[in-house]
Amino acid sequence: MTTNIQNALNAKELIEEVARKSPNLLSKIKASIRHMKNGFQMQYSDAMIFKKLLKVEKKSITQMMDYKRIRSDLLKMIPFSLFISIPLMEILLPPYLILFPNAVPKSFLT
Does the predicted TM-score (pTM) go above 0.85? Answer: no
- Chain centroid to CA 108: 6
Q: How many other β-carbons are positioned within 10 Å of the β-carbon of residue 46?
A: 20
Structure confidence by residue, pLDDT tens digits, 64-108: 998 898 899 888 888 888 887 888 888 888 888 889 888 888 777
Structure confidence by residue, pLDDT tens digits, 2-25: 455 555 556 666 666 666 666 677
- In angstroms, the CA 78 to CA 82 distance is 7
